Amino acid sequence: MKSKNQLAKALSVYTLGLILPLKMMSQDIHFSQINQNASLINPALTGASHVLSASLMYRDQWRTVASPYKTFGVNIESRLKNSGWNKVENQSMTFTQQSYNRLAAGLSFYNDQAGDGNMGTSNINLSLATFVKTGANSNLSLGLQGSMVQKKVDINKLIFSNQYNGTTYDQSLNNGENSSALSFIYPDFAGGLNWVYEIKDKMIASNFNRKANFGFAIYHINKPKNTYLAGNNSNLNMKYIFNGDFLIGIRNSNYAIAPAYLAQFQGKNVNIVAGSVLKYYIKEDSKYTGIIQRSSLNFGVFYRYKDAMILSFSYDKRQQYSVSVSYDVNVSGLNTVSKFSGGPEITLRYNTANAYLYQKKEKVE
């Protein structure tokens, strides 16, 4: 009886360790910090926030359930081409010569390892975005992305029913599986649009910044083949993404709120994340240009539909250096075995100074 119970327990753990990676295989790489990975959300976000940005991401998930899922990412993006334009300030009777970046590019790499068989996905993404001014405080960007994706699995680390010899499992026995490719590569393509409206506050104390960002993107436009099994013509479904975030400064205070949402639809899979961040500005500094550079502490609470609560904390130093930490608290039906644990995630980011930090002002004749 004891041996049967041990076998049943082993089969349960094995089945869970096999099913979860298969479920993950049908979805794409994702992070809980939805505003930190532009290339995974919308190619049109490339270069949308800073002249140059570089970041490192790491995520560890389901360690208390089975073999943990580890996801690593690195991203760099930069605006490329500048074009000058002048803006007349009526009150001071001066004009400001500024530089507007109309083109940006980004390069990113992600790797995901899942389950006992090290089922892995690696992709390299090249993103391009162009920006068109739609008003004094708004712009529209169009982004395109081309990727090379590799998927692989170490079948020698998995156990199959054909390898049960009547007493125990023997991995030296033929597993009976017909796998056409334990590693395969395919190209992938995506495109998106993003609209931004922003009012920047020139008076430090008033804290009246306003920003709204709305985007839509389509991934897997070419619906690439995605299967390890011979004779299976499974293809990736196109993924549709709606993203948005806001920044609302609370007048005459050191606080701001930053709500955000992300909705992804891919076949029968739905991933919706929504919540908000409370920002507390701990340092203010305005150079002669009038541009505000502030450090902040940020506390966030988000909810992933039917899955987890996401608690986050980040520190931004003068909008140039940032460290973000989050943790998923699992609240789905899996919490009976996960014990409400999900996974930690950390992002390190560096941004260059604002594109409009140094401006040339002269009297209007």
pLDDT in tens, 222-269: 999 877 665 566 788 999 999 999 999 888 888 999 999 999 999 888
Residue 175, domain extent: 2-363
Q: What's the CATH number where 314 sits?
A: 2.40.160.40
* Share above pLDDT 70 across residues of the chain, in percent, rounded to a whole number: 64
Contact 212, 165 (CB under 8 A): no
Q: Which of 365, 354, 211 is nearest to 290 (CA)?
A: 354
Q: Which amino acid is at 16?
A: L
Give the distance from CA 236 to its chain's centroid.
19
pLDDT the model gives residue 23:
41
Q: What is the DSSP letter of 286?
A: E
Strands of 166-254 (E only): list them.
Answer: 183-199, 210-219, 239-249
As a whole number, mean pLDDT of residues 19-34 equals: 60
How far apart, in Å, are the Cα atoms of 291 and each of 100, 247, 286, 359? 16, 17, 6, 10
pLDDT over 60 (residue 339): no
pLDDT the model gives residue 156:
64
Contact 113, 120 (CB under 8 A): yes
Give the distance from CA 243 to its chain's centroid.
11
pLDDT the model gives residue 93:
54
pLDDT the model gives residue 119:
74
Bridge partners (DSSP) of residue 213 are 196, 245
Rounded distance between C-alpha atoms, residue 181 and residue 191, angstroms: 29
Main-chain phi, psi angles of 16, to 5 degrees: -65, -40
225-257 core/surface letters (b: 16 or more CB in 10 A; e: else): ebbbeeeeeeebbebebbbbbbbbbeeeebebe
Q: Give the chain's domain count.
A: 1
More confident residue, 39 or 233: 39
Reported as type and span, the H/E element at residue 14 is helix 2-25
As a whole number, mean pLDDT of residues 194-212 equals: 76
pLDDT the model gives residue 51:
82
Going by pLDDT thresholds of 50, 70 and 90, the confidence category of residue 74 is: very high
pLDDT the model gives residue 253:
85
pLDDT the model gives residue 6:
42
Neighbouring C-beta atoms of residue 180, cutoff 10 Å: 11
Question: pLDDT (tens digit, 9 = 90+) per residue, 96-154?
Answer: 555 556 889 999 999 988 766 667 889 999 999 999 888 888 899 999 999 999 988 77
pLDDT over 50 (residue 14): no
Q: Which of 179, 126, 123, 176 is nearest to 151 (CA)?
A: 123
